[in-house]
Amino acid sequence: MAETTQNTPKPSRWSLKLGGDKPLWVIFIIFAFLSVFVVYSSTTSSLYGSTSAVHHLSRLVKQLAYVFVGVGAVWVVHKFDYQTYHRLAKAAYYLSLFLMVLTMFVGVRKFDAQRWLEIPIIHITFQPSDLLKVTTVLMLSLQLARRQKLVDRQTLFPGWRMWRDNSVKAFEIFKSHTLPVFGPIMLSCGIIAPENLSTALLMGGTSVILLIIGRVSWRDIGRFLLLAVVGGGLLIGAMELKSATTDEGNRTGTWGKRINAFFHPEKVREEDPDYFYQIDQATIAIAMGEIGGRGAGKSVQRHMLPKAESDYAFAFLVEEYGFLGAVLVLVLYLWIFYRAIVIFNRCGTAFPCLLVLGLAFLITSQGLLNMMVATGMMFQTGLALPLISQGGSSELFTSIAMGMILGVSRQIEEKTLSTPKGESMLETNKKR
């Protein structure tokens, strides 16, 4: 009897199978466990003696909910093809800008900064700047990818000589290339900086890295950086003027004090000894960690270290898990960027290449900056430790970024990446 064969149906896009780069999935899962352990243990100091055991358990449930939402976001986003991000890049970016403007007028003020927006009815707050970081990388990747054909032979940022000799051509380049490429960077950093300078600097640095990867000339990047310095000076001047004329406070004083405390700690310590309380407690926590740490749930500094679950989560983690725990976290962040480079080398198409490296650099650099602050290697910032610190919006939008990276790697495995003619960065680089 002849044997009949049937074609195996193609699995559904929405199957529970985890596609994409397996090491990245492992990294994300490790971070999820670390987040629960660190946040739950670090918040017990604020709960013992003041609330019931039920309230203590609710904090764990809340963090588990954040992690669950993050895992769900990664899984959903990684199922979409990168062409979807390509189509939605502009709309997502403009939505982020709108939410940031809304925050300026009706945002919730916490810790002397107005960075949060409250969702009506459910009364959940989130930071639109976390979304804007992701959509800025998305928008910049799109604009650079569209210019890979001409970036080698044409300036994207006309200099003063071109404006003098051929103003018509200079204006055309400014309108067609300067504004679309450099405009989103200036706009994003400018709208975030007044309330969150550290995030603005992180976004600006990530954008410059993308410009370099996107093969923009060093001359154009230099002109942009000069413009950014001038724009930053004007922004600070405007903030000082507003403060003087309206009697409203601004963040410039906080910026100056943080920088001064880093370079001249003895002077600031004399003027304001309490300023270094958090830094000193973080240093003690790290020192007590030694090689193997005090052990999970055995922290002593959690009773003295403010924001042990957020800004100084790394210091708390080192106390409980020691030098070995610190090395593990450092390796995990660097591993994310390494896996992004692997995906980049296998990709070949400009937009997903830039998107993957940009998002990975954003996550890795934020993690490294947070660790540098906790160890006293950098002045204080409000940056969270990605995928570990407590915070719903940080967890959600970092997870979305991870999902995008995994989505591109999934398409590489499935061989469904399109290669638009003239857009391949890798082939162009080989010709140079």
Segment 102-125, tens digit of pLDDT = 988 887 877 666 777 787 777 777
Segment 398-416, tens digit of pLDDT = 999 999 999 999 999 888 7
At residue 429, the pLDDT reads 45
DSSP conformational letter for 377 = S
Q: Report whether 340 contacts 31 (CB < 8 A).
A: no
Of all residues in the chain, the percent with pLDDT exceeding 70 is: 87
Q: 196: burial class by Cβ within 10 Å (0-12, 13-18, 19+)?
A: buried
At residue 298, the pLDDT reads 81
Residue 340 pLDDT > 80:
yes
CA 258 to chain centre: 21
Please give the residue that has the higher pLDDT: either 266 or 131.
Answer: 131
pLDDT-wise least confident of 118-122, 166-170, 351-355, 391-395? 118-122
Q: Report whether 354 contacts 144 (CB < 8 A).
A: yes
In the block, tokens 């971070």 appear at: 31
Whole-angstrom Cα distance, residue 377 to residue 373?
A: 6
Of all residues in the chain, the percent with pLDDT exceeding 90 is: 43
Helix 392-414 and helix 53-77, axial crossing angle in degrees, nearest 10: 30
pTM of the model: 0.88
Whole-angstrom Cα distance, residue 404 to residue 83?
A: 11
Q: What is the mean pLDDT of the chain?
A: 84
Residues ≥6 apart with Cβ < 8 Å to 423: 145, 146, 148, 149, 349, 350, 351
Segment 141-159, tens digit of pLDDT = 999 999 988 888 889 999 9
Strands 113-119 and 124-126: antiparallel
Segment 191-247, tens digit of pLDDT = 998 888 888 999 999 999 999 999 999 999 999 999 999 998 888 888 777 777 766
Whole-angstrom Cα distance, residue 149 to residue 139?
A: 18
pLDDT-wise least confident of 160-164, 293-297, 327-331, 394-398? 293-297
Task: Name which of 413, 404, 418, 328 is nearest 138 in CA terms.
Answer: 404
Task: Name which of 76, 130, 23 is nearest 396 in CA terms.
Answer: 130
- 356 pLDDT band, cuts 50/70/90, is very high
At residue 277, the pLDDT reads 85
Whole-angstrom Cα distance, residue 44 to residue 36?
A: 13
Please give the residue that has the higher pLDDT: either 17 or 9.
Answer: 17
